[in-house]
Each structure stands twice: as structure tokens, then as C-alpha cells.
Amino acid sequence: MKKIKSFIFFLFLSISTIGYAQEIAVLKYNGGGDWYANPTALPNLIDFCNRNIQTNIATKPQTVEPGSTDIFQFPLVHMTGHGNVIFNDDEVENLRNYLLSGGFIHIDDNYGMNEYIRKELKKLFPEKELIEIPQNHPIFSIAYEFPNGLPKIHEHDALAPQAFGIFENDRLLLLFTYESDLGDGWESPEVHNDPKEVRQKALKMGANIVKYAFEN
């Protein structure tokens, strides 16, 4: 089954690059957390990427559920929210297969996800640790340079921003951004009234994530 799903993923990925726009999806998860937070974030990030790093991403992000085989259509799935997250057994198997088959998930803690998502990630990869990503990792320089690692966008608990990941060999499968709130920085200017330079930092780091997910 894993090999079949891997083939499906790469088939969809190949088709999407031949004359068609690629797509990014938002993960619609269960548990009560607001998976739909930051509605303007991904459209703005997509527009930024299409204008600045030569991507050809469909302007409207799709929605995908963790147990759906539709997830294999997307090279990048974005997840955000403030609260609880629950993956059932079927969803765990599907997400794990998706990631090991070449997919990529970016989880952006919008404040309040940390304690919940860590437990669910342990279900996905009980044999792996969620480890802090070093500042010299390509995700911090693939399009724009972030020599100090993940930028701080919004203040919550006066903690430094951290980027955590799950790896298979040398490939980063999953990125968890914590105490940064990139998604808030991707939102339209009137939502949070962030200075332009703060939004630019968020969008540039987002572009790095997109480029890494598409190319690795």
C-alpha cells in the first residue's frame, strides 16, 4: 500500500508540473482547534512566491483532510491553529505514508497548538524525535538568507522562535514553527497592522519553506 501511495503522489506531482499550476493545501484536522485560522495568509504567501521565486502555484489554496488520499496531490500541506488536534489511526497511517512518499507538512503554531500537536506527531513517528533545526539548514537560505534561523513575527510568551523538524535520513519531512507565528505575518496588512519589514520577513521565510518543499 505504501508503494502504491508513493507512486500516486509522484504521479500527481509530475502531472502538476506539466503546464499546470501546483497547489498548496490547508489541513482540516479534528480535535476542536481552529484549522481555518489566518484565512488571508496562504493566498498572500502564494502571491508573494509566484511574484518573487518563480513558482506557479494556484492562487486559491485547497482544503484537505488528514485521512484523505487527496493529500497525495499536494507537495506542501500547511497546518495552523490555536488549540487541540486529534489524528485517528487511519489519519496517522495516511499522513505518515504521505510524508514518507515525498510530501511535506508545515505546522505553524498560531499560539496554543504546541502541547497538542507534539502528542499527535509522536503517533505519526513514534521512532523519531522532533528536533530543533540548525541555523545552517538549507530551509533558512534556499531563497532568502536567515542566518539566525527562524524570524520572530509576533510576541506571545517572550520566548525565542524555534523551528523543529522530523527527518528521514537527511530529508526534512515536517516543519513545526513555534513562537514565531509566521502565518500572522502572511496575513493582509490590515489584519494585524504589522510593519512592512515584519511582513516581509514572514513572507520571505514562507517562500523558503515553499521552495524547500517543492524541491526536496
Cα–Cα dist 99/202, whole Å: 24
Can you give the pLDDT at residue 192? 79
Question: What integer pLDDT is reported at residue 158 of this predicted model?
Answer: 77
> Which residue stretches of the chain have pLDDT < 70?
1-20
Q: What pLDDT is stored for residue 112 in this prediction?
A: 87
What the block records as the C-alpha cell of 171 is 530529508
- In one-letter notation, the amino acid at residue 88 is N
Q: What's the grid cell of residue 79?
A: 497546518
| CA separation for the pair 196, 70 (Å, rounded) | 36
**Calpha distance 209→142 (Å, rounded):** 9
Instruction: List strand residue ranges (DSSP E) for 65-200, in order.
Output: 76-81, 105-109, 131-132, 162-168, 171-178
Q: How confident is the model at residue 20, as a pLDDT?
A: 54
Residue-level pLDDT at 98: 98
Compute the half-sphere exposure of residue 204: CA atoms within 13 Å on the CB side of its CA: 19
The per-residue pLDDT for 160 is 93
Running DSSP on this structure, what letter comes out for residue 138?
G
How far lies 42's CA from each of 59, 81, 131, 160, in Å?
Answer: 9, 13, 25, 24
Instruction: State residue 185's pLDDT score.
Output: 95
pTM of the model: 0.90
Going along the chain from its start, the domains and CATH numbers come out as: 2-215 (3.40.50.12140)
Cα 216 from Cα 212, distance rounded (Å): 6
Tell me, what amino acid is at 169? N
Please state, rounded to an integer, the average pLDDT across all residues of the chain. 91
Element (H, E) at 92: helix 89-100
pLDDT in tens, 88-141: 999 999 999 999 999 999 999 988 899 999 999 999 999 999 999 999 999 999
Q: What is the pLDDT of residue 121?
A: 97
State the Cα–Cα distance between residues 109 and 87, nearest whole angstrom: 17
Cα gap 167→113, rounded to integer Å: 21
